[in-house]
Amino acid sequence: MPQISTKTQIQEAIGRFYSQQTVNKVMNELDDEAAAAAQQNQVVDQQSVERIDNAPIVRLVNTMVETAFHINASDIHIEPF
């Protein structure tokens, strides 16, 4: 059954059912897991950025935008066939 509790009520319940040492251990484990996940995400994100930047369509669009910028174009129009 869902319930709504205040921060104080949650902390009191944790204090009743778990020792402070157990809570600290769990919190440290969560911090370690979060740090490891963040580091893994950075590696994956860098690989994704490199893969996306090298995609042919991205290179084509980048070239179009850069060319338009250099010739001071105000619009870029693309017409499907």
**At a CB cut-off of 8 Å and minimum separation 6, what does 23 contact?**
14
pLDDT tens digit sequence for 28-66: 888 888 887 777 777 666 777 777 778 888 888 888 899
Asked if the structure places residue 38 within a domain, the reply is: yes
Structural domain count of the chain = 1
**Position 21 pLDDT exceeds 70:** yes
Per the structure, the complete domain to which residue 38 belongs is given by: 7-70
Give CA–CA dist 80/45, Å, rounded: 32
Among candidate residues 41, 59, 60, 62, the one with its CA nearest the CA of residue 51? 59
Asked if the structure places residue 35 within a domain, the reply is: yes
pLDDT band at 24 (very low <50, low <70, confident <90, very high): confident
